[in-house]
Amino acid sequence: MERHLFIVATAAAMILSLAGCKKEGDHSGDSNDPAGPENYDEYCDENRAYFGPTREENNYSGAYYTGDYTSPFKTWLGKTDEEINAKLDKLWDHYFKGAANSRLYYDVGGGAYILDTADNNVTSEGMSYGMMIAVQTDHKSEFDKLWAWMKNHMWRKSGAWDGYFASMCHTDGSGSDDECCPVAEMYTMMSLIFAANRWNDSAYMDDAQYILKRMWDNPTFSLFNTQAYVITFTPTVSFSNPSYDLPAFLELFSRWSDTNRDKWAMTIQATRDHLYKSSNTTSGLFPEYSNFDGTPHSYAYNANSTKYMYDAMRCAMNIGMDYYLFGVDAERQTVLAKRLIDFFETDGYRHARFNWDGTNPSESYTLGEAGANAVACYALMGTEGYESQIRRNLQKAWDGTLLTGQYRYHDGMVHYLSMLHLCGSFKIWKERP
């Protein structure tokens, strides 16, 4: 709560006084570059990549506008910077450098892949998650190897699927799937843009812009439904997956894409509306698949498509991410977070899977859910009466035992991404001025 009160009180002053990193010795401070020399170092990493305030006239308190990425582990649980950095190092060592029963990252010489250990294959989703983790934790070598493997084995740059990624293939790169998994396109575009800005390399941006353009200009397939402006489950069908709704990314695409900015801008409100409508008004839960109006979609190939299952837990992370990065839809996102956290409080955090209305609980609460629900709690941090619930969810995410064994991939990756948000280590890397 204290963090958000501070942001509201100071955001306007910060936006007017700060914009980006200047070169050393440049103290012009004119109206086009309002970053004062006494402030900009605070918002640059050691390579002078900038993640600080952006000058845009608004009343929003998100980190995009303020540059404030203070970890709630510090403000709510009293964790130190040293403890938080140690936690991040532990996550990296476990999933990227660990033993055979813990690692997900596999270096194969000129490239590397993230292994979906449940099915012993490589998914575009996992590759895009790995790239996002690598850029946010400043591991350029691993990022480059993941992107090289993805480019060589999954990226199509001709034909009907030009610009898209095969959703899965074998670990040797063979047997690629014809379909795409749109959440992978979203995370890949975003991670490439962040990489271009953080590591000052235009080649990443060129690749990102190619994909951004093809998501609308491919003559055969569009990533988003062109009437509803909601992301598709895959472009060959007329329904969605609400866990693919990433409004924070769309805010940035609408600003940073070289093409179709008007279309990217159209997706932002439609996506926030879709997330809101997909949440059950009683349980707060989301279905695996939904129609473009938010109602659950029954799909013959997935008997659980109308239930809260494996993908749906990511919706909580998406809501919290958008709340603390932008804060544009704060009122509705607080409603969503209340519904969801109230429901899991009533359940006692015992179960993982439910019908959309919260009935028929099964399986045990998972590490991925602990992480995602803790991120959703960002939207509760200015709400009186939720202090104990916030601390309980943050503690569950912090205390979670990192996964080993066959089923470590999906929950492990969702928890890892969630921890980046919660540790204050998921930053919007901006173009250098």
Rounded distance, CA 315 to CA 145, Å? Answer: 29
Q: Quick one: 138 and 271 in the same domain?
A: yes
236 shares a domain with 118: yes
Does the pTM of the predicted model rise above 0.85? yes
Shared domain check, 109 and 51: no
In a domain? residue 380: yes
Within-domain flag for 214: yes
- CB neighbours of residue 172 within 10 Å: 10
Q: Are residues 157 and 196 in the same domain?
A: yes
Same domain for 23 and 172, yes or no, is no
221 plus 326 within the same structural domain: yes
Domain residues for 1?
A: 1-68
Q: Are residues 44 and 161 in the same domain?
A: no
Inside any domain, residue 429? no
* End residue of a domain, out of 41, 68, 95: 68
Same domain, 114 and 48: no
Same domain, 352 and 266: yes
312 and 244 together in one domain: yes
Is 428 part of a structural domain of the chain?
Answer: no
CATH number at residue 272: 1.50.10.10
> Per the domain annotation, does 431 fall within a domain?
no
- Whether residues 154 and 15 share a domain: the answer is no
Q: Same domain, yes or no, for 100 and 28?
A: no
Tell me the Ramachandran region of residue 35: left when phi exceeds 0, alpha when psi lies from -120 to 50, beta otherwise: beta
Alpha helices (H) along 32-159 = 63-66, 72-77, 81-96, 124-136, 140-153
Tell me if 11 is assigned to some domain.
yes
In DSSP terms, which residues pair with 106 in a beta bridge?
113
Asked if residue 430 is part of any domain, the answer here is no
- Residue finishing a domain among 29, 49, 68: 68
How many domains, in total, are found in the chain? 2
Which of 43, 68, 93 terminates a domain? The answer is 68
pLDDT tens digit at each of 433 positions of the chain = 434 443 333 343 333 333 334 333 332 333 233 443 357 889 999 989 999 999 887 889 999 999 999 999 999 999 999 999 999 999 999 999 999 999 999 999 999 999 999 999 999 999 999 999 999 999 999 999 999 999 999 999 999 999 999 999 999 999 988 899 999 999 999 999 999 999 999 999 999 999 999 999 999 999 999 999 999 999 999 999 999 999 999 999 999 999 999 999 999 999 999 999 999 999 999 999 999 999 999 999 999 999 999 999 999 999 999 999 999 999 999 999 999 999 999 999 999 999 999 999 999 999 999 999 999 999 999 999 999 999 999 999 999 999 999 999 999 999 999 999 999 999 999 998 7
Neighbouring C-beta atoms of residue 152, cutoff 10 Å: 11
Residue 381 lies in a domain: yes
